[in-house]
């Protein structure tokens, strides 16, 4: 093959942004299947809706910013943002909520900061937080696991609930309830013992019923990403270890403070956050040591917000708070250069 | 004796593509009608012609002398007539011309008288270095630094280890591999002389493990020289850029060359096997450096291989000899695919630093249409200098050159690993080269400005001093004048008083 570039190197590896994003999407498939199994087809409806909204917002913004459509639409980053946000919000969110969250993430969090590669904050998480603080009620109620539900939600009911807000004369709130994390938090306030709470039908072996498996599938997908070298192990390992350590310490000091350390590992957005959110390269730390600091910070903040904060889960806030610290972390965690670097 | 191998951070496993050019032994390139010899084929000052147009020259005859310390001589690669001395296109990425001596060959290959030295130990290291300099020997690995300088430990350094860099880590290139396979004994001749000149206690010959034939050939040659007991062959893992001087030093010794220092500062001197071979030929056979082994290879070359090629041979003749599918004016690479440079025209001569001519590569880098950096950090993972290329890119792009220095821009060896793995296909090395050039230009400007300011200030000081001196002189003159005036006045006063006296007297 004749060379194209006039400057070295003239070779290039097979690595591509599109390829990386595509592998992230593939790694999400097992967890999406698991979520669909536990919460019904509403999950898929949400994902599709979010991706369509994201691609439209991306196209409009690229046009407005006078950027070429093909390379940026095909990079896959908008789809990844959309899928992550769709998996983070309740399956039965009304369609307009999903659309607002996704378009806000793409337009305000990504493109107004300069588009791909320039956003200091994780778009999916800022979109999520926007929805959380704007629509707290809708955002903190989830569908129960299908096996606990009196009437499983099928395709028809999912579509009707998402797009009209009603099915069989009942609203979304009639079908949904608290998440295990939420239940744990509100019942602890009522002075119930975590072990008692965990014995309720909403809970499974270690975490919430269904939720624990969803978390495991997220983790397995993430491990595959590490194996494929799309992400490095530093952020997830640091985040999981930090969460494990801080929850173990607090539980040792006060066993009634919250669920077990294991409960926190496989509940809520822990694994989604550890392998798919906190590993976002654009808004995360880039040095190896920095990634460990970043991951550990997310893990600790997640737990702190879950236990002492006002929201049942804290991954999104933890990630955004750590995003703010990234320039600082990166500056102070530079690796030692070969030869020690120039002394200036 | 051998210590366990260390490893350098980062690096890449690249497909080697070496077999393409190692199927045939080294062949001779046919003699071209004209040989074009740039006066500068080395780092340092260009050589100065000592022949005239129309002069007959013999093979090996000196045609240009070294100018200044960092410079070497140039020789006629064959017998013939000097047909021109003047500007000619040279193999440089800039595409510029430079002064060259052109020789019209006569095909007789008549050698000049050669001074052979049977026992080099009878000579001083200084004399040997002089011969090596006069033989025009430069580093044949690609940089072209005059070798005699790197064979001089000087008074401030002790060289413990001579490291022969036979890693040849860049894909496609195989000239050192073939040289080691076929001329292992000649390389060891040079090694002995180098050890003697450097007063080094040991020699390490490092070869990547993808060259088993070269390793066994060198081993066999070494077994025939029991007196070289302090020389060992170290097999290093094949990983790009192991052949980088600093990286290889880390692999075989575990030591790092401190930033802004040279290997000699930690007692190590590196040479290329081709250079060692040339040193052996120059001392033992009296042959100056007039040819080298050039790898001609690539996906578009029909008869790839290694060719003993006289300097000055037009690349187009070499390519025609090997047959290529290259289109006219299609760029090709001189050097390796990672660190070489592209050349457009082919009416360019083979020079001392031309280790490889590469026409067409697999996994070719796409035309530059990069996506934005997504800060994935893959570049930092592969950087052998442990830099943060994504930060350097960010600041180079923003022309924040102070920050690029904070991030140790000048420790970048431009190996291209970061470019290779970048998922956005950003030409990172080009950005770093740009930043380095800008900084060096700025520094030159600074120095110029400093000099101008100093000159201006000293001029002002001089003017002021002169002014003061002038004033001082004037003042002194005035004072003297005033004094003399006063004296005069006094004198006058006395005389006039006398006269008035007399007048009054008269009046009276």
Render pLDDT for A241-290 as a digit per residue (tens, 0 to 9).
999 999 999 999 988 888 889 999 999 899 999 999 999 999 999 999 99
Measuring CA to CA, which residue among A232, A230, A338, A222 is closest to residue A285? A232
The Cα–Cα gap between B12 and B14 comes to: 6
**B258, B374, B433 ranked by CB distance to A117: nearest:** B374
Residue A164 in any domain: the answer is yes
Query: What is the domain extent for residue A40?
Result: 9-178
Three-state DSSP state, B82: strand
Q: Inform me whether the C-beta atom of residue A342 falls under 8 Å from chain B C-beta atoms.
A: yes
Bigger pLDDT: B69 vs B506: B69
Domain co-membership, A88 together with A206: no
Query: What is the domain extent for residue B304?
Result: 120-334
Instruction: Reply yes or no on whether the pLDDT at A320 is more than 50.
Output: yes
The answer for B 261-280 residues in CB contact with A (under 8 A) is 261
Bigger pLDDT: B499 vs B321: B321
Render pLDDT for B413-429 as a digit per residue (tens, 0 to 9).
999 999 999 999 999 99
Domain boundary among the residues A122, A148, A178 is at: A178
To the nearest whole angstrom, how far is the Cα of B118 from the nearest Cα of chain A? 42
Instruction: Reply yes or no on whether the pLDDT at B503 is more than 80.
Output: no
pLDDT of residue B1: 46
pLDDT of residue A150: 67
Find the distance separating the first CA and the last CA of chain B, reported in whole Å. Answer: 127
To the nearest whole angstrom, how far is the Cα of B318 from the nearest Cα of chain A? 18
CA-to-CA separations, A298 to A53, A312, B235, B308, in angstroms, rounded: 28, 15, 45, 62
Task: Give contacts of B11 with chain A, Cβ < 8 Å.
Answer: none
Domain co-membership, A125 together with A210: no
Closest Cα in chain B to A74 = B371
Domain co-membership, A61 together with A191: no
Contact of B377 with B390, CB cutoff 8 Å: yes
Contact of B82 with B53, CB cutoff 8 Å: yes
Domain co-membership, B286 together with B422: no
Across the interface, do A287 and B260 touch by the CB < 8 Å criterion? no
Instruction: Reply yes or no on whether the pLDDT at B507 is more than 60.
Output: no
For the ranges A68-77, B265-274, B491-500, the lowest mean pLDDT is seen at B491-500
Across the interface, do B299 and A14 touch by the CB < 8 Å criterion? no
Would you state the structure tokens that stand for residue B69, as one six-digit string?
A: 């310390």
Domain co-membership, B246 together with B157: yes
Across the interface, do B405 and A118 touch by the CB < 8 Å criterion? no
CA-to-CA separations, B21 to A255, A304, B27, B215, B467, in angstroms, rounded: 71, 63, 11, 17, 76
The rounded percent of chain B whose pLDDT value lies above 70 is: 96
CB pairs < 8 Å spanning A and B = 192
pLDDT band, very low/low/confident/very high, at A299 (cuts 50, 70, 90): very high
Work out the average pLDDT over A53-69.
95
Across the interface, do A344 and B14 touch by the CB < 8 Å criterion? no
Instruction: Reply yes or no on whether the pLDDT at A343 is more than 60.
Output: no
The Cα–Cα gap between A262 and A208 comes to: 11
Closest Cα in chain A to B434 = A7
Measuring CA to CA, which residue among B125, B5, B97, B105 is closest to residue B56? B105
Query: Burial code of B125-138, b = ≥16 C-beta within 10 A, e = fewer?
Result: beebbebbbbbbbb
Domain co-membership, B395 together with B271: no
Contact of B317 with B32, CB cutoff 8 Å: yes
Domain co-membership, B172 together with B317: yes
Beta strands B34-38; B97-105: pairing state: antiparallel
Q: Inform me whether the C-beta atom of residue A70 falls under 8 Å from chain B C-beta atoms.
A: no
Measuring CA to CA, which residue among A291, A334, A9 is closest to residue B387? A334
**What is the crossing angle of helices A95-104 and A123-134, to 10°?**
130
Across the interface, do A337 and B330 touch by the CB < 8 Å criterion? no
ipTM: 0.88
For A243, left (φ over 0), alpha (ψ -120 to 50), or beta? alpha
Domain co-membership, A148 together with A131: yes
Best of B419, B429, B434 to disrupt the A interface by mutation (most A CBs within 10 Å)?
B419
Domain co-membership, B194 together with B264: yes
Domain co-membership, B159 together with B288: yes
Q: Inform me whether the C-beta atom of residue B397 falls under 8 Å from chain A C-beta atoms.
A: no
The strands making up B305-310's β-sheet, listed across from edge to edge, are B27-28, B305-310, B291-297, B356-358, B332-334, B341-343
Work out the average pLDDT over A50-73.
94
Residue B49 in any domain: the answer is no
Bigger pLDDT: A256 vs B3: A256
**B14, B365, B372 ranked by CB distance to A4: nearest:** B365
Within A92-234, strands assigned E span 141-142, 166-167, 170-171, 177-178
- Alpha helices for B345-400 (secondary structure H): 378-382, 389-397
Domain co-membership, A91 together with A226: no
Instruction: Reply yes or no on whether the pLDDT at B504 is more than 50.
Output: no
Would you state the structure tokens that stand for residue A324, as one six-digit string?
A: 């703010």
pLDDT band, very low/low/confident/very high, at B497 (cuts 50, 70, 90): low
Domain co-membership, A56 together with A105: yes
Instruction: Reply yes or no on whether the pLDDT at A68 is more than 50.
Output: yes
pLDDT of residue A201: 80
* Residue found by looking up tokens 């980088």 in the block: B244
Contact of B11 with B247, CB cutoff 8 Å: yes
The Cα–Cα gap between B269 and B138 comes to: 14
Domain co-membership, B156 together with B299: yes
The Cα–Cα gap between A238 and A275 comes to: 11
The Cα–Cα gap between B339 and B172 comes to: 12
Residue A339 in any domain: the answer is no
Instruction: Reply yes or no on whether the pLDDT at B506 is more than 60.
Output: no
Q: What is the full DSSP assignment across A285-313?
A: --SHHHHHHHHHHHHHHHHHHHHHSSSS-
**B9, B360, B408 ranked by CB distance to A2: nearest:** B360
pLDDT of residue B508: 39
The Cα–Cα gap between A45 and A279 comes to: 26
Domain boundary among the residues A137, A158, A178 is at: A178
**A10, A118, A335 ranked by CB distance to B365: nearest:** A10
Within B287-364, strands assigned E span 291-297, 305-310, 332-334, 341-343, 356-358
Average pLDDT taken over every residue of chain B: 91
Residue B500 in any domain: the answer is no
The Cα–Cα gap between B361 and B225 comes to: 40
Cis before B61 (ω within 30): no
Instruction: Reply yes or no on whether the pLDDT at B386 is more than 70.
Output: yes
Residue B312 in any domain: the answer is yes
Domain co-membership, A58 together with A102: yes
Best of B268, B332, B360, B408 to disrupt the A interface by mutation (most A CBs within 10 Å)?
B408
Domain co-membership, B403 together with B309: no
The answer for B 457-496 residues in CB contact with A (under 8 A) is none
pLDDT band, very low/low/confident/very high, at B479 (cuts 50, 70, 90): confident
Instruction: Reply yes or no on whether the pLDDT at B47 is more than 60.
Output: yes
pLDDT of residue B220: 96
Instruction: Reply yes or no on whether the pLDDT at B29 is more than 50.
Output: yes
Measuring CA to CA, which residue among B230, B207, B500, B381 is closest to residue A335? B381
Render pLDDT for B126-171 as a digit per residue (tens, 0 to 9).
999 999 999 999 999 878 999 999 999 888 889 999 999 999 999 9
Across the interface, do A338 and B9 touch by the CB < 8 Å criterion? yes
To the nearest whole angstrom, how far is the Cα of A7 from the nearest Cα of chain B? 6
Within B275-372, strands assigned E span 291-297, 305-310, 332-334, 341-343, 356-358
CA-to-CA separations, A276 to A236, B52, B246, in angstroms, rounded: 9, 73, 38
CB atoms within 10 A of CB B94: 8
**B258, B339, B364 ranked by CB distance to A1: nearest:** B364
The rounded percent of chain A whose pLDDT value lies above 90 is: 62
Across the interface, do A339 and B411 touch by the CB < 8 Å criterion? yes
Render pLDDT for A86-102 as a digit per residue (tens, 0 to 9).
999 998 889 999 999 99
Would you state the structure tokens that stand for residue A308, as one six-digit string?
A: 């002492």
Residue B72 in any domain: the answer is no
To the nearest whole angstrom, how far is the Cα of A65 from the nearest Cα of chain B? 15
Q: Inform me whether the C-beta atom of residue B328 falls under 8 Å from chain A C-beta atoms.
A: no
CB atoms within 10 A of CB A100: 18
* Residue found by looking up tokens 């830099």 in the block: B387
- Residue B165's H or E segment, with its range, is strand B161-166
Render pLDDT for A3-28 as a digit per residue (tens, 0 to 9).
888 888 999 998 899 999 999 999 99
Domain co-membership, A163 together with A75: yes
Instruction: Reply yes or no on whether the pLDDT at A58 is more than 50.
Output: yes
Residue B474 in any domain: the answer is yes
Domain boundary among the residues A178, A207, A223 is at: A178
For the ranges A144-153, B232-241, B361-370, the lowest mean pLDDT is seen at A144-153
pLDDT of residue B259: 87
Query: Burial code of B332-347, b = ≥16 C-beta within 10 A, e = fewer?
Result: bbbbbbbbbbbbeebe
To the nearest whole angstrom, how far is the Cα of A289 from the nearest Cα of chain B? 12
Would you state the structure tokens that stand for residue B102, as one six-digit string?
A: 């052109």
> Which residues neighbour B462 within 8 Å (Cβ) at sequence distance 6 or greater?
none
The rounded percent of chain A whose pLDDT value lies above 70 is: 98
Q: What angle do CA B379, B380, B384 make, to 5 degrees?
A: 100
Average pLDDT taken over every residue of chain A: 90
Render pLDDT for B329-352 as a digit per residue (tens, 0 to 9).
889 999 999 999 999 888 999 999
Contact of A236 with A278, CB cutoff 8 Å: yes
Measuring CA to CA, which residue among B360, B343, B413, B353 is closest to residue B175? B353
pLDDT of residue A5: 82
Residue B360 in any domain: the answer is no
Domain boundary among the residues B312, B334, B356 is at: B334
Residue B12 in any domain: the answer is no
Domain co-membership, B426 together with B277: no
CB atoms within 10 A of CB A273: 32
Across the interface, do A337 and B411 touch by the CB < 8 Å criterion? yes
Residue A116 in any domain: the answer is yes
pLDDT of residue B496: 60
Provide the domain count of chain A: 2
Work out the average pLDDT over A209-215.
90
Domain co-membership, A15 together with A84: yes
pLDDT of residue B350: 96
Across the interface, do A10 and B260 touch by the CB < 8 Å criterion? no
Across the interface, do B331 and A2 touch by the CB < 8 Å criterion? yes
Q: Inform me whether the C-beta atom of residue B387 falls under 8 Å from chain A C-beta atoms.
A: yes
Contact of A278 with A189, CB cutoff 8 Å: no
Residue A295 in any domain: the answer is yes
Residue A1 in any domain: the answer is no
Contact of A280 with B377, CB cutoff 8 Å: no
Three-state DSSP state, A37: helix
For A339, left (φ over 0), alpha (ψ -120 to 50), or beta? left
CB atoms within 10 A of CB A298: 30
Domain co-membership, B330 together with B379: no
pLDDT of residue B489: 76
pLDDT of residue B3: 64
Domain boundary among the residues B266, B301, B334 is at: B334
What is the distance of C-alpha B251 from the center of its chain? 23
The Cα–Cα gap between B324 and A8 comes to: 22
Residue B271 belongs to domain with CATH number: 3.40.50.11540
Domain co-membership, A199 together with A71: no
To the nearest whole angstrom, how far is the Cα of A210 from the nearest Cα of chain B? 33
Domain co-membership, A117 together with A205: no
Instruction: Reply yes or no on whether the pLDDT at A308 is more than 50.
Output: yes
Measuring CA to CA, which residue among B289, B317, B291, B294 is closest to residue B305? B294
Residue B75 in any domain: the answer is no
Provide the domain count of chain B: 2
Render pLDDT for B56-106 as a digit per residue (tens, 0 to 9).
999 999 999 999 889 999 999 999 999 999 999 999 888 889 999 999 999
pLDDT of residue B478: 85
Instruction: Reply yes or no on whether the pLDDT at B375 is more than 80.
Output: yes
Contact of B315 with B89, CB cutoff 8 Å: no
Cis before A9 (ω within 30): yes
Would you state the structure tokens that stand for residue B195, as one six-digit string?
A: 């050890």
For A329, left (φ over 0), alpha (ψ -120 to 50), or beta? alpha
Q: What is the DSSP letter of A338?
A: G
Closest Cα in chain B to A7 = B341
pLDDT of residue B159: 93
Domain boundary among the residues B334, B366, B388 is at: B334
Q: Inform me whether the C-beta atom of residue A117 falls under 8 Å from chain B C-beta atoms.
A: yes
Would you state the structure tokens that stand for residue B297, as one six-digit string?
A: 């290879």
Q: What angle do CA B431, B437, B441 make, to 5 degrees?
A: 145
Residue A338 in any domain: the answer is no
Domain co-membership, B278 together with B133: yes
Across the interface, do B377 and A15 touch by the CB < 8 Å criterion? no
pLDDT of residue B310: 96
Closest Cα in chain B to A338 = B385
Domain co-membership, A113 together with A230: no
Task: Give contacts of B416 with chain A, Cβ < 8 Å.
Answer: 8-9, 11
CA-to-CA separations, B360 to A1, B299, B327, in angstroms, rounded: 5, 5, 11
């Amino acid at each position: 093959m004749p060379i194209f570039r006039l400057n070295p190197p003239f070779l290039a590896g097979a690595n591509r942004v599109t390829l990386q994003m595509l592998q992230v999407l593939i790694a999400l498939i097992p967890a999406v299947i698991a979520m669909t199994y536990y919460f019904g087809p509403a999950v898929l409806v949400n994902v599709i809706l979010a991706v369509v909204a994201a691609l439209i917002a991306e196209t409009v913004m690229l046009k407005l910013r006078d950027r070429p459509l093909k390379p940026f639409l095909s990079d896959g980053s908008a789809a990844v943002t959309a899928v992550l946000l769709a998996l983070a919000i309740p399956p039965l969110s009304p369609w307009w909520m999903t659309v607002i969250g996704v378009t806000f993430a793409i337009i305000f969090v990504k493109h107004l900061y300069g588009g791909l590669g320039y956003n200091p904050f994780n778009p999916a998480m800022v979109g999520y937080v926007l929805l959380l603080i704007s629509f707290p009620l809708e955002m903190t109620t989830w569908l129960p696991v299908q096996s606990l539900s009196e009437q499983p939600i099928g395709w028809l009911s999912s579509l009707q609930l998402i797009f009209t807000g009603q099915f069989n004369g009942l609203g979304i709130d009639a079908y949904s309830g608290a998440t295990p994390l939420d239940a744990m938090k509100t019942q602890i306030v009522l002075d119930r013992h975590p072990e008692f709470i965990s014995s309720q039908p909403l809970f499974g072996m270690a975490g919430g019923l269904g939720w624990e498996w969803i978390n495991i599938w997220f983790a397995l997908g993430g491990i595959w990403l590490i194996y494929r070298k799309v992400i490095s192990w530093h952020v997830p390992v640091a985040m999981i270890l930090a969460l494990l350590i801080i929850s173990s310490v607090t539980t040792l000091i006060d066993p009634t403070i919250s669920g077990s350390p294991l409960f926190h590992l496989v509940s809520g957005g822990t694994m989604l956050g550890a392998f798919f959110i906190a590993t976002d390269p654009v808004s995360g730390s880039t040095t190896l040591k920095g990634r460990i600091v970043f991951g550990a910070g997310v893990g600790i903040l997640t737990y702190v917000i879950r236990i002492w904060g006002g929201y049942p889960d804290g991954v999104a806030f933890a990630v955004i708070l750590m995003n703010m610290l990234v320039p600082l972390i990166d500056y102070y965690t530079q690796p030692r250069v070969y030869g020690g670097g120039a002394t200036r | 004796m051998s210590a366990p191998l260390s490893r350098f951070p980062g690096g890449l496993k690249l497909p080697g593509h070496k077999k393409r050019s190692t199927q045939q032994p080294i062949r001779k390139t046919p003699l071209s009608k004209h040989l074009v010899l740039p006066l500068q084929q080395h780092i340092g000052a260009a050589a100065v012609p000592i022949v005239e147009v129309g002069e007959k020259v013999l093979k090996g005859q000196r045609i240009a002398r070294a100018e200044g310390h960092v410079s070497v001589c140039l020789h006629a690669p064959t017998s013939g007539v000097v047909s021109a001395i003047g500007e000619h296109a040279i193999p440089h990425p800039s595409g510029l011309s430079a002064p060259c001596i052109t020789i019209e060959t006569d095909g007789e290959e008549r050698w000049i008288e050669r001074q052979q030295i049977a026992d080099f130990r009878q000579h001083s290291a200084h004399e040997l270095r002089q011969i090596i300099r006069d033989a025009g020997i430069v580093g044949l690995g690609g940089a072209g630094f005059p070798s005699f300088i790197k064979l001089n430990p000087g008074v401030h350094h002790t060289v413990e280890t001579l490291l022969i860099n036979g890693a040849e880590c860049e894909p496609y290139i195989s000239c050192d591999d073939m040289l080691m396979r076929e001329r292992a004994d000649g390389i060891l001749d040079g090694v002995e002389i180098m050890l003697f000149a450097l007063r080094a206690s040991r020699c390490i010959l490092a070869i990547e493990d993808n060259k088993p034939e070269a390793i066994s050939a060198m081993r066999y040659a070494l077994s025939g020289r029991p007196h070289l007991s302090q020389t060992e062959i170290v097999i290093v893992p094949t990983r790009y850029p192991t052949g980088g001087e600093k990286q290889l030093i880390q692999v075989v010794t575990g030591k790092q060359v401190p930033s802004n220092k040279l290997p000699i500062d930690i007692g190590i001197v590196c040479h290329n096997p081709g250079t060692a071979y040339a040193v052996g030929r120059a001392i033992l056979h009296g042959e100056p450096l007039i040819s080298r082994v050039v790898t001609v290879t690539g996906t578009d070359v029909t008869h790839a291989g290694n060719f003993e090629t006289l300097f000055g041979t037009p690349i187009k003749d070499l390519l025609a000899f090997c047959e290529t599918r290259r289109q006219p004016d299609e760029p090709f690479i001189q050097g390796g695919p990672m660190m070489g440079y592209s050349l457009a025209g082919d009416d360019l001569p083979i020079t001392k630093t031309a280790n490889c001519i590469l026409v067409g590569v697999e996994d070719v880098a796409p035309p530059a249409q990069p996506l934005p950096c997504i800060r994935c950090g893959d570049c930092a993972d592969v950087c052998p200098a442990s830099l943060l290329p994504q930060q350097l890119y960010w600041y180079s792009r923003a022309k924040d050159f102070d920050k690029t220095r904070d991030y140790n821009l000048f420790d970048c060896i431009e190996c291209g690993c970061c470019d290779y793995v970048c998922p956005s296909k950003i030409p990172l090395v080009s950005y770093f080269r740009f930043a380095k050039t800008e900084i060096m230009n700025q520094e030159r400007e600074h120095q110029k400005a400093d000099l101008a300011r100093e000159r201006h200030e000293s001029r002002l000081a001089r003017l002021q001093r002169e002014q003061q001196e002038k004033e001082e002189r004037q003042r002194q003159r005035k004072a003297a004048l005033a004094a003399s005036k006063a004296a005069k006045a006094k004198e006058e006063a006395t005389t006039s008083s006398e006269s008035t006296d007399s007048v009054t007297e008269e009046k009276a």
